[in-house]
C-alpha cells in the first residue's frame, strides 16, 4: 500500500492510484520527469516579433507580447539542465542549459517547441550568442566553446578557448568575441572559429558579469565597480573611457539601445544611463526591479528577466520616468509540499501564500486557488476537509478546503515562538515551535483550537511526527528528540541524541529517519525509551524525507532528489538521484510518484522500478475510480481509440496497461471488458494481476 509523507496515514488510499501522463524521459536511470509547475527564476530573455522567448531555470517559456500590458502564456518546454542564457536565430532557440549543455529548439510552431538536438560536451553552459552558422557558448567552468550549427539537427564542435575562471557572458561583434570571466574581459579573435585566439585580456577592477557591445564601445557590468565603458574601435588595443557606479548596487546585467544603457543590479535596482557621451555617462531614471538579471530592448520597451519576480516589461519611452506596463509573474520560494487526492498544497514562504494545485495530470498542472496568510508559511498538513498551516510568527492557521478551489478561514491559535513544523493525529495537532519546543493543540473544535500542553526542547524545534504515544522531533540545534505524548496535557522528553542541524524526521513502524546537514541518520525506535542508532548515509544537504515501502525519498538541497534503498536500515544503499533546477527543500511521496519542492518550482517525478505499480484496478481512463466510463474507454481503445494513460513494468521487461486488467489474467483484453460489465451488473469484483497488485 502507499504511505504518506513521514508516517503511515490511512487517508493515503484516496491518492494511492494517481496515474501520471509521461511527456518525456530524462537522464536518471530510474526516475522519470512527469511535469512541473510554478516555474520561477527567469535568467534571460530574447524578443522576436510579438513574442518574448524566456530562459527559465526549468527551461523555455514563450509569451505573446503584442499587448505589453498583458503578456500571454503560449507554451513551454522543460529542459533538465538550468536555463541560463538564450539566443534566437530564425526558427531556432539556442538555450544555454547549464549542465545539459546547449539545447537547440525548433520554434517554427511557437505553440509546440520541440528539441531538435542537444550538444552536451559543455561543462556549464552559462550564456550563448549566435552569429552566422556558429553558436558561441560561455562555459562557466572552462571558457569559450564554439559550435557549428549550420545543421541545427547535428551540431558539431568547432573550436575552444580556455579561460581559467570560466565564462559568464558573451557578445560577438564582427571577428571578435567579448567574454567576461568575473575578473577580466577577454577579447578573442574568432575569425577562424576552429582556432579562437586571445588578442588581449583587459583587467576590470570588479567582477565582470555581463557585456554588451554597441558602436565602438563595450559596456561591462562589473558588479560592485559599476558599469565599465571600454573603447574597442581597435579590439587588440582597448582603451578605458569611463565608469558609471550605482550607490549601494552591484551591476549584474547591461543592455544598450540608442543613447541609453539599461542596468540591472542587486538591491532592487534597475537604472537607465544616458551614454550619448560615453565619456560622461549620467543617470537618467530608475525602477525597482528586485533581482534583475539580463535584459533586452525592443522599441520603447525593456524586457527584464527579473530573477525572482518573472518577466517585467518596462516602458522606457520617457527614460527619466520608466514604469512597468506588464508582468509575467511567479511565486518564488517553493519550499514544501503536501499532497492529498488530486491536489498539491504548496507553502511559499516569501509570498505568504498557500498555493493549491490540481495535479490530476502532471503534464498539465493547473492552479486551483491561493490563500494568503498573515505570516510566512513554514509547513502545511492536510487532513480531511481542513488544511493546517504552520504560519511562523502567527502560529496555527486552519482553513476549510472542502472545496479546494475556494479555501476559507476556519480558525487560528497563536503559539509562543515561531511555528516551523506541523503534524496532526486525531483531535490533536503538534507544532514544532522553534525555541518554544513542541506545542500540542486541541483541534476537536477547528474553529476554536486551544493549546492543551507543551514540552520545551533544548534548541530549536523545526519538525515533529507523532506515532502512537510518542512524538519524534527534529531539533535544529539539539538533534533528535523523543517526547511522550500519551497524555497531551503533560508531555515529557524521554530521549535526546545530539545531531548538527536536524531538519526533518520520518517514522515507520520500528524506525525513525532523521534528515539534516549530516545526511540521513536511522534509529531503531521499537522501544522509544531505549532507541539506538542503526545506520546512516552521507547526503550533504538533506532537507526533507518521505518513506515509501523500502525506499527513502530525500530532498537534497544541492542535488534535488536522492533515493535510497532502506530494506536494511543498518545499510542504506544509493539507488538514484535527479538533479532539479533549484535548491530542494521538500519532498512528498505517493507510492512511486514524487513531488519535489525545489524553491524554483514544483517538480513531479516518477520512480520507475519493476514491481511498484500505482493504480486503481479497472481505472483505464485515469480518473482515479473504476466505473462505467472505464468500460466505455476500454471499448473505444480496442476499436482503435486512445490507449490507457498508465502502463507499468510489473515484472522486468513486461510493460503493459495493468489498470485495465480486472479479471486477474495479467493481460488487458476484451475479456476484461466482459468481466467489468458483469461486475456492474452484480458479478464478482475486480481482481488485479497477482504479479503486480496496486501499491
Q: 366-375, 407-416, 616-625: lowest mean pLDDT where?
A: 616-625
Q: What is the pLDDT of residue 266?
A: 81
Supply the DSSP symbol for 689: -
What does the alpha-carbon distance between residue 354 and residue 128 come to, in Å, rounded to a whole number? 37
Mean residue pLDDT of the chain comes to: 91
Q: What is the pLDDT of residue 624?
A: 72
> How much is the average pLDDT of 434-450?
98
What does the alpha-carbon distance between residue 419 and residue 375 come to, in Å, rounded to a whole number? 10
Would the CA dihedral through 27, 30, 35, 39 be positive or negative? negative
What does the alpha-carbon distance between residue 159 and residue 150 come to, in Å, rounded to a whole number? 15
- Is residue 295 within 8 Å of 305, Cβ to Cβ? yes
What does the alpha-carbon distance between residue 499 and residue 510 come to, in Å, rounded to a whole number? 20
What does the alpha-carbon distance between residue 607 and residue 561 come to, in Å, rounded to a whole number? 11
Residue with cell 565603458: 229
What does the alpha-carbon distance between residue 200 and residue 1 come to, in Å, rounded to a whole number? 65
Tens of pLDDT, residue by residue over 224-247, are 999 999 999 999 999 999 999 998
Residue with cell 485515469: 622
Tens of pLDDT, residue by residue over 61-87, are 999 999 999 999 999 999 988 999 999
> How much is the average pLDDT of 392-407?
97
Q: What is the pLDDT of residue 19?
A: 28
Instruction: Output the DSSP codes for 49-108.
Output: TTEEEEEETTEEEEEE-SSTTS-EEEEEEE-SS---EEEEETTEEEEE-BTT-EEEEE-S
Q: Confidence band (pLDDT; 50, 70, 90) for 432?
A: very high
- Is residue 501 within 8 Å of 482, Cβ to Cβ? no
> How much is the average pLDDT of 243-270?
91
Say if residue 538's pLDDT is above 90. Answer: yes
Q: What is the pLDDT of residue 291?
A: 74
Residue 181's nearest CA partner among 197, 161, 195 is 161
Tens of pLDDT, residue by residue over 119-155, are 998 899 999 999 999 999 999 989 999 999 999 999 9
Q: What is the pLDDT of residue 10?
A: 30
User: How far lies 295's CA from each of 78, 271, 447, in Å?
Assistant: 22, 12, 49
Name the percent of the chain lying above pLDDT 90: 78
> How much is the average pLDDT of 111-118?
97
Tens of pLDDT, residue by residue over 275-316, are 999 999 999 999 887 777 899 999 999 999 987 778 999 999
Residue with cell 544503499: 573
> Backbone dihedral region of 236: left (phi > 0), alpha (psi from -120 to 50 degrees) or beta?
alpha
Q: Confidence band (pLDDT; 50, 70, 90) for 610?
A: low
Q: What is the pLDDT of residue 650?
A: 76
Describe the strand order of the beta sheet including 593-597 as a list of residue ranges: 31-37, 602-607, 593-597, 586-590
Say if residue 30's pLDDT is above 90. Answer: no
> How much is the average pLDDT of 467-495?
97
Say if residue 16's pLDDT is above 50. Answer: no
Tens of pLDDT, residue by residue over 158-211, are 999 999 999 999 999 999 999 999 999 999 999 999 999 999 999 999 999 999
Amino acid at each position: 500500500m502507499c504511505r504518506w509523507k513521514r508516517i503511515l496515514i490511512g487517508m493515503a488510499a484516496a491518492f494511492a492510484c494517481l496515474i501520471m501522463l509521461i511527456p518525456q524521459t530524462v537522464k536518471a536511470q530510474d526516475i522519470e520527469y512527469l511535469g512541473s509547475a510554478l516555474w520561477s527564476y527567469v535568467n534571460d530573455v530574447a524578443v522576436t516579433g510579438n513574442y518574448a522567448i524566456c530562459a527559465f531555470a526549468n527551461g523555455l517559456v514563450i509569451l505573446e507580447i503584442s499587448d505589453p500590458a498583458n503578456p500571454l502564456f503560449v507554451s513551454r518546454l522543460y529542459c533538465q539542465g538550468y536555463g541560463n542564457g538564450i539566443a534566437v536565430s530564425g526558427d531556432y532557440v539556442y538555450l544555454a542549459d547549464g549542465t545539459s549543455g546547449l539545447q537547440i529548439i525548433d520554434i517554427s510552431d511557437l505553440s509546440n517547441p520541440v528539441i531538435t538536438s542537444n550538444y552536451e560536451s559543455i561543462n556549464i553552459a552559462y550564456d550563448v550568442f549566435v552569429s552566422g552558422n556558429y553558436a558561441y557558448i560561455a562555459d562557466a567552468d572552462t571558457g569559450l566553446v564554439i559550435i557549428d550549427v549550420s545543421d541545427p539537427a547535428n551540431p558539431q564542435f568547432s573550436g575552444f578557448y580556455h579561460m581559467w575562471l570560466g565564462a559568464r557572458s558573451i557578445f560577438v561583434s564582427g571577428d571578435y568575441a567579448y567574454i567576461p570571466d568575473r575578473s577580466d574581459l577577454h577579447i578573442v579573435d574568432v575569425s577562424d572559429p576552429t582556432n579562437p585566439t586571445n588578442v588581449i585580456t583587459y583587467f576590470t577592477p570588479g567582477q565582470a558579469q555581463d557585456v554588451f557591445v554597441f558602436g565602438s564601445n563595450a559596456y561591462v557590468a562589473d558588479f560592485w565597480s559599476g558599469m565599465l565603458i571600454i573603447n574597442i574601435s581597435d579590439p587588440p588595443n582597448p582603451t578605458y573611457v569611463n565608469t558609471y557606479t550605482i550607490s549601494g548596487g552591484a551591476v549584474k546585467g547591461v543592455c544598450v539601445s540608442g543613447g541609453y544603457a539599461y542596468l540591472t543590479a542587486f538591491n532592487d535596482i534597475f537604472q537607465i544611463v544616458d551614454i550619448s557621451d560615453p565619456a560622461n555617462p549620467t543617470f537618467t531614471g530608475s525602477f525597482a526591479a528586485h533581482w534583475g538579471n539580463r535584459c533586452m530592448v525592443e522599441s520603447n520597451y525593456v524586457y527584464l528577466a527579473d530573477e525572482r519576480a518573472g518577466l517585467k516589461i518596462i516602458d522606457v519611452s520617457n527614460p527619466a520616468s520608466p514604469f512597468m506596463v506588464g508582468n509575467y509573474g511567479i511565486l518564488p520560494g517553493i519550499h514544501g509540499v503536501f499532497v492529498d487526492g488530486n491536489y498539491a498544497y504548496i507553502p511559499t514562504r516569501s509570498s505568504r501564500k498557500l498555493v493549491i494545485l490540481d495535479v490530476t495530470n502532471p503534464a498539465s498542472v493547473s492552479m486551483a486557488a491561493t490563500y494568503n496568510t498573515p505570516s510566512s508559511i513554514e509547513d502545511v498538513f492536510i487532513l480531511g476537509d481542513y488544511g493546517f498551516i504552520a504560519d511562523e510568527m502567527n502560529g496555527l492557521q486552519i482553513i476549510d478546503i472542502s472545496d479546494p478551489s475556494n479555501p476559507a478561514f476556519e480558525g487560528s491559535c497563536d503559539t509562543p515562538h515561531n511555528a516551523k513544523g506541523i503534524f496532526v493525529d486525531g483531535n490533536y495537532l503538534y507544532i514544532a515551535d522553534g525555541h518554544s519546543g513542541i506545542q500540542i493543540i486541541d483541534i476537536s473544535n477547528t474553529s476554536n483550537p486551544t493549546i492543551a500542553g507543551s514540552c520545551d526542547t533544548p534548541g530549536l524545534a523545526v519538525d515533529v511526527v507523532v506515532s502512537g504515544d510518542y512524538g519524534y522531533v527534529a531539533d535544529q540545534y539539539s538533534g533528535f528528540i523523543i517526547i511522550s505524548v500519551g497524555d497531551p496535557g503533560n508531555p515529557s522528553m524521554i530521549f535526546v541524541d545530539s545531531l548538527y542541524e536536524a531538519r526533518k524526521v520520518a517514522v515507520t513502524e520500528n524506525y525513525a529517519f532523521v534528515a539534516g546537514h549530516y545526511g540521513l541518520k536511522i534509529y531503531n525506535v521499537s522501544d522509544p525509551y531505549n532507541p539506538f542508532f542503526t545506520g546512516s548515509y552521507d547526503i550533504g544537504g538533506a532537507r526533507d524525507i518521505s518513506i515509501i515501502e523500502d525506499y527513502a525519498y530525500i530532498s537534497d538541497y544541492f542535488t534535488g532528489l536522492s533515493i535510497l534503498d532502506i530494506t536494511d536500515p543498518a545499510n542504506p544503499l544509493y539507488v538514484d538521484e535527479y538533479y532539479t533546477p533549484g535548491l530542494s527543500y521538500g519532498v512528498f511521496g505517493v507510492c512511486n510518484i514524487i513531488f519535489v519542492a525545489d524553491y524554483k518550482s514544483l517538480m513531479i517525478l516518477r520512480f520507475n522500478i519493476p514491481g511498484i505499480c500505482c493504480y486503481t484496478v479497472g481505472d483505464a481512463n485515469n480518473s482515479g475510480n473504476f466505473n462505467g466510463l472505464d468500460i466505455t474507454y476500454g471499448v473505444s481503445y480496442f476499436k482503435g481509440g486512445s490507449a490507457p494513460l498508465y502502463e507499468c513494468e510489473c515484472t522486468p521487461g513486461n510493460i503493459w496497461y495493468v489498470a485495465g486488467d480486472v479479471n486477474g489474467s495479467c493481460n488487458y483484453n476484451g475479456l476484461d471488458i466482459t468481466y467489468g460489465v458483469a461486475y456492474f451488473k452484480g458479478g464478482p469484483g475486480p481482481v488485479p494481476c497477482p504479479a503486480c497488485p496496486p501499491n
